Amino acid sequence: MENNIELKNVSKEYPGFQLKDISFNVPKGSIVGLIGENGAGKTTTIKALLNIINYNGQIKIFNKDIKEGEKNIKQDLGIVLDDSFLSDYLTPKGINTIMKNLYPSWNSNKYFNYVKDFKLPSNKLIKNFSSGMKMKLKIITAISHNPKVLILDEPTSGLDPIIRKEILDLFRQYIAEDEERSILISSHITSDLEHISDYTIFINNGQIILSLPTTDLLENYGIVKCTEQEFKKLKKDDYITYLKGKYHYEILIKDKNLFTKKYAIKTIDKPSIDEIMLLYVKGEK
């Protein structure tokens, strides 16, 4: 499988925080979700990807080192960060004027169709937009030059469910238009990623804890609730982590079929990504 993005042993150190040998790929035609708590290293990873910060290791985008071919590479990237460049004193119409001079592949018709579809006033100053309107505008600006890859840092944070659904539908449409495209989404709203991501990468305290196809994660992992007596019969190799509650234990396992064959415990809950993340972070080994 060909990749649009490849990270190999990427590290970055700040006072009190270290990104430790991060390695993962973003295959063509896929949506990859990068999840983790706030401060886990998601934004640092994105900034390294975009060569905004110095780092150790290797990052390739379109099979080119980002440090060597940054200018050409970024012509084919659509980027949405918290501090995206959109000035509060621009209008959507003004953005079109700027962007068509920056990107040879900028498509004004496509851009204004999105503006119309999302009911954004083309002559209104961005400072008067709601947070949802601003995020929609950032995203349609990022995709209107037909990039090969979208890189998005918390694109649905703070938005209501209706607006989040509209944005997720737009991501699906973007991928469906061209099987060579990819999306990397950093988010702590894991419920969004359950619906659209092909792969899930979980980062915690600067390290990758797991990297799996999302279907494998949701179908094979499970949460077992059992008594203390039942828990004591389990071998440590057969579970990942556990939380001890007042009345029962919650145990995270990664192979439901194997577990049911080995133990008499039959009731295994299907976990959400949020629950898996919580048990990894808060659970005991």
Helix or strand holding residue 30 (H, E): none
pLDDT of 84: 65
pLDDT of 83: 66
Angle in degrees, 0-180, between the axes of helices 131-143 and 161-177, rounded to the nearest 10: 0
Note whether 129 and 252 are same-domain residues.
Answer: no
pLDDT of 158: 76
pLDDT of 82: 74
Note whether 85 and 155 are same-domain residues.
Answer: yes
Task: Read off the pTM.
Answer: 0.92
Q: Which long-range contacts (CB under 8 A, 24 or more apart) does 256-262 make?
A: 256/220, 256/221, 256/222, 257/220, 259/222, 259/224, 262/238
Phi-psi region of 55 (alpha: psi -120 to 50; beta: other; left: phi over 0): beta
Question: Which residues have a Cβ under 8 Å from the Cβ of 99 and sit 6 or more positions away?
Answer: 106, 111, 141, 144, 145
Note whether 200 and 249 are same-domain residues.
Answer: no
Containing structural domain, residue 115: 3-213
pLDDT of 269: 92
pLDDT of 97: 94
pLDDT of 85: 67
CA dist 241 and 278 (Å) reads 10
Note whether 113 and 138 are same-domain residues.
Answer: yes
CA dist 57 and 45 (Å) reads 12
Note whether 149 and 230 are same-domain residues.
Answer: no
Structural domain ending residue among the three candidates 178, 213, 248: 213
End-to-end CA distance of the chain: 34
Note whether 202 and 251 are same-domain residues.
Answer: no
Note whether 206 and 226 are same-domain residues.
Answer: no
Query: Which ranges of the chain have pLDDT less than 50?
Result: none
For residue 183, what are the β-bridge partners? Answer: 31, 150
Structural domain ending residue among the three candidates 162, 182, 213: 213
The first and second tokens of residue 204, run together, are 């915690």
CATH number (domain holding residue 103): 3.40.50.300
Note whether 233 and 257 are same-domain residues.
Answer: yes
Note whether 124 and 240 are same-domain residues.
Answer: no
pLDDT of 157: 79
How many domains would you assign to the chain?
Answer: 2
Note whether 69 and 165 are same-domain residues.
Answer: yes
The first and second tokens of residue 66, run together, are 């980002």
Instruction: State the amino acid at position 126 in one-letter form.
Output: I
Helix or strand holding residue 80 (H, E): strand 77-80
Note whether 135 and 276 are same-domain residues.
Answer: no
